[in-house]
Amino acid sequence: MLNVIDLGKKFGGLPVLEHLNLRVEPKEITAIVGPSGCGKSTITSLLMKENRPQSGVITLGGEVLSDFTTEGLMKKITRITHDSYIFKGTVRENLAMGCETASEPEMREALGQVDLLGFVEENGGLDMEILEKGANLSGGQKQRLALARALLHDSPVYIFDEATSNVDVESENKIMEIVQDLAREKSVILISHRLANVTAADKILYMEQGKIAESGTHEQLMAQNKAYAALFNKQQELEHFREEAV
């Protein structure tokens, strides 16, 4: 369980986050959404200890986050970003970065979960060579390989930080399917600019200018008919327009 209590963060003397209070429960999806610059990425950088808050406290499982070593924190939280790094080497070596002790059957199971096993087996199996930054993979394949690695890591908390950006529809759907599956056992934080991906979240936090402006389920926020509903409707109109244009 993650608790963020009265958190504040400034950049260049200006507040980025102000009086932020949130609680991330086990077996739930907590979505954080809002316009660019609202503070979504700042929250993840604070949770990963890449930045430090100027005030307030973050706890993880009842322990203060600042007391965790980097290694200890990595065992608790797994973050999947839109540009997760793929290393030069084999598929096996990339997956081992998630869990050094993972067996071949476990690696194949993880690849199967992200619909990548068939492709890998057709190209040399676990010993398939991967170029630097996954240059011989498509964007969707790279993201799904990173996701398989993350599944093997098996931490209590998963953060999906714009993980579906710049991938094909098939990969996006698979990633969202994995998010739903993980939430049966883990605490999941989902950050997405595309609101259609957060409609099934247990709790949605809509941020504006470093503050939580609205919170609730998708249905509750739509019923309130405020900023979240306006942005969701605008995105839906744009997506329907693109579909009709094609």
Tell me the per-residue pLDDT of 150-184, one tens digit each, with 9 for 90 and over: 999 999 999 999 998 878 888 899 999 999 999 99
Q: Which two three-digit tokens encode residue 101?
A: 């002790």
pLDDT at residue 32, rounded to an integer: 95
| φ/ψ (deg, to 5) at 193 | -80, -20
Distance, in Å, from the CA atom of 91 to the CA atom of 239, rounded to the nearest integer, reads 35
DSSP code at position 156: S
Q: Give the rounded distance of the alpha carbon of 146 from its chain centre.
A: 12
Listed as ranges, residues in the chain with pLDDT below 70 are 6, 8-15, 242-246
| φ/ψ (deg, to 5) at 220 | -65, -40
pLDDT at residue 13, rounded to an integer: 59
pLDDT at residue 12, rounded to an integer: 60
Q: Which two three-digit tokens encode residue 144?
A: 């799904």
Neighbours of 222 (CB within 10 A): 15
Q: Which two three-digit tokens encode residue 108?
A: 């194949």
pLDDT at residue 241, rounded to an integer: 74
Question: Helix 139-153 and helix 169-182: axis angle, to 10°?
Answer: 10
pTM over 0.75: yes
| φ/ψ (deg, to 5) at 170 | -60, -45
Going through 126-210 in order, the beta strands assigned E by DSSP cover: 129-130, 157-161, 187-191, 203-208
> Within a 13 Å sphere around the CA of 110, how many CA atoms are in the beta-carbon half?
25
Indicate the SS3 state at residue 5: strand
DSSP code at position 7: E
Nearest to 149 by CA among 186, 106, 185, 89: 106
pLDDT at residue 21, rounded to an integer: 87
